[in-house]
Structure 1
Amino acid sequence: MGVGMQIAYMGFVGSAEIEAEASVQLVRIDRFARLVAGCHLAIESLCNLDGSRPYEARLDFITRDYNMIPIEPVTQCGRQVAIRAAFDSAVRLLEKEGATVVA
């Protein structure tokens, strides 16, 4: 009854390293599998006026009853850091909402 995931890359090419990090983070969501059926992760490379290139990670969860739970986007200096921060926010939201946890 695991949670599926789709990843979209915007402004850069994805890599096995990024997919591995996203997969590790997705395991943290698996305990909410009674509620969450799927996960959409979008990672976008941004460009600041000073030339720095932060990354924004956005998560949307699809529930078992076909509703969407959007997670607030997170912007960080690195791709993997942004992914971890987005999943941190998602876990906090699901725990706060008292989502059903798989035993």
Structure 2
Amino acid sequence: MGIDMQIVYVGFAGAASLEAEAGAQLVRLARFGALVSHCHLSIEALRPGSAHPLYAVRLDLVTRAHELRPVAHCAGDDAQAAIRRAFDAAETALEAAIGMEGGH
């Protein structure tokens, strides 16, 4: 079972490099496919056109039971790094969820 991903860009048109980074990070979550069916990634340019850009990245997971699980809100001047941090948080949260299930 694969995990689908929807990417939304707010305040800018997006970039192929950001989609590639998000796709590479999604591969890390593939092992959690029994728990997660979809994820929604939002990348917002908070200072579009500025010499010092700032991006806010939010990642929400949707479980197989159709429950929305917000995971991370990350911000920074490097959108790709913020995407990686959001997926880091998702992986940590999913590993914790598996650990809690295994303990019961």
- Report TM bin, short chain: 0.7 to 0.9
The structure in which a higher percent of residues are helix is: 2
State the identity %.
Answer: 46
Q: Which runs of 5+ in 2 are unaligned?
A: none
Match of 1:57?
57
Name the stretch that deviates more: 68-77 or 2-11: 68-77
Match of 1:68?
68
Deviations 1:18-41 (A, max 9, x none): 111000000001100000000100
Match of 2:87?
87
User: TM-score normalised to the size of structure 1?
Assistant: 0.88
Question: Take 1:88 and 1:72, find their aligned partners in 2: how far apart are those partners?
Answer: 9
Give the secondary-structure state (helix, strand or coil) at the position aligned to 2:7: strand
Q: Which runs of 5+ in 1 are unaligned?
A: none
Of the two structures, which has the highest relative contact order with CA contacts closer than 8 Å and spacing of 6 or more?
1
Match of 1:21?
21
Question: Take 2:21 and 2:72, find their aligned partners in 1: how far apart are those partners?
Answer: 19
RMSD: 1.7
Question: Take 1:68 and 1:93, find their aligned partners in 2: how far apart are those partners?
Answer: 13
Moved over 3 A (4+): none
Q: Number of residues paired by the alignment? A: 98
